[in-house]
């Protein structure tokens, strides 16, 4: 079964826009779990425009499903992650001012750096996933870092899905076969939604987890949060 991890960054963005605890980020996380989500994802950025570093220990205390923290492995970020010990840390190559995560690691160029970071997190008992493009040589290099999983950056798939879905999915199906050969666990995220999620799931063997935030929040405006989560779970069934 492919797990649904709900990224609650956009909930935090709404909260931060008014300077008060409304909506209550913790309550939303707990509600997502109650409504069926099998994980909660957060991506605290350096400017804290979404989830704040202060939110992390509070969420860690109450989240009972898989807790996944995403981010660029700066020293401050790594210290925070190791202190709070989520189940999984997803490393992304975002620059500090990035609007959103829009590319995966060059695991060849950054091999030494990533090996050190992966080892440090694993020594703290944290599973590591690398945000990555569906490029064969980078997957082989990802395995060499010691990371247990990769998370496919699915932006290109979502962009091309409406034009030619078979062509859009092909690189990910091929990359998934490589991951299975390498015994790399497969996660995926970015612009997955109710239109394209089921097709992705059907054509990416071994898909363990998807992390979805923006689309879930947008759909919840129309369908409500509980119904939306159930709709996404249905696409993964």
Residue 119 confidence (pLDDT): 98
| Banded model confidence at residue 183, pLDDT cuts 50, 70, 90 | very high
Helix, strand, or coil (residue 44): coil
In tens, the pLDDT along 82-120 reads: 999 999 999 999 876 666 667 899 999 999 999 999 999
| pLDDT at residue 13, rounded to an integer | 97
For residue 98, what pLDDT is reported? 64
Q: Residue 216 pLDDT more than 90?
A: yes
148-170, pLDDT tens digit by residue? Answer: 999 999 999 999 999 999 999 99
Domain residues for the domain of 100 are 3-236
Tell me, yes or no, if 190 is annotated catalytic: yes
pLDDT of residue 146: 98
Strand partners, 132: 152
Predicted confidence at residue 97, as pLDDT, reads: 66
What CATH number is associated with residue 156?
3.20.20.70
Out of 33, 66, 151, 190, the active site residue is 190
CB-based contacts of 99, cutoff 8 Å, min separation 6: none
Q: Are 158 and 190 in contact (CB under 8 A)?
A: yes
> Of these residues, 33, 43, 151, 209, which one is catalytic?
43
Q: At what angle do helices 111-123 and 75-84 cross, to 10 degrees?
A: 30
Q: Cα–Cα distance between 196 and 191 in angstroms, integer?
A: 9
3-state secondary structure of 3: strand
> Which among 33, 70, 151, 209 is annotated as catalytic?
70
**Tens-digit pLDDT profile for residues 29-69:** 999 999 999 999 999 999 999 999 999 999 999 999 999 99
Residue 172 confidence (pLDDT): 98
Helix (H) or strand (E) holding 133: none
User: Residue 233: which pLDDT band, with cuts at 50, 70 and 90?
Assistant: very high
- Split into its structural domains, the chain has a count of 1
> Across the chain, what does the average pLDDT equal?
96
Residue 50 annotated as catalytic: no
- 43 counts as catalytic: yes
pTM, to two decimals: 0.96
pLDDT at 115: 98
Distance, in Å, from the CA atom of 164 to the CA atom of 32, rounded to the nearest integer, reads 33
**Distance from C-alpha of 4 to C-alpha of 12, rounded to nearest angstrom:** 19
3-state secondary structure of 124: coil
Mean pLDDT calculated for residue range 17-38: 97
36 burial class (0-12, 13-18, 19+ CB within 10 angstroms)? middle
């Amino acid at each position: 079964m492919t797990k649904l991890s709900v990224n609650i960054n956009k909930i935090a963005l709404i909260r931060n826009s008014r300077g008060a605890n409304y909506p209550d980020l913790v309550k939303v996380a707990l509600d997502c779990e109650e409504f069926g989500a099998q994980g909660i994802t957060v991506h605290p950025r350096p400017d804290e425009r979404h989830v704040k570093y202060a939110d992390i220990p509070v969420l860690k205390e109450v989240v009972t499903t898989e807790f996944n923290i995403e981010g660029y492995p700066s020293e401050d970020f790594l210290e925070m992650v190791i202190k709070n010990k989520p189940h999984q840390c997803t490393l992304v190559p975002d620059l500090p001012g990035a609007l959103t995560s829009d590319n995966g690691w060059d695991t060849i160029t950054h091999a030494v750096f990533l090996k050190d970071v992966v080892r440090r997190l694993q020594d703290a008992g944290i599973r590591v996933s690398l945000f990555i493009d569906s490029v064969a040589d980078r997957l082989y290099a990802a395995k060499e870092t010691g990371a247990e999983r990769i998370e496919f950056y699915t932006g290109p798939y979502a962009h091309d899905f409406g034009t030619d879905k078979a062509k859009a999915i092909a690189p990910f199906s091929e990359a998934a076969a490589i991951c299975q050969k390498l015994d790399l666990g497969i996660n995926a995220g970015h612009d997955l939604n109710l239109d394209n999620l089921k097709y992705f799931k059907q054509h990416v063997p071994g898909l363990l987890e998807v992390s979805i935030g923006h689309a879930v929040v947008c759909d919840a405006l129309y369908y409500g949060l509980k119904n939306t989560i159930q709709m996404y779970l249905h696409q993964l069934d």
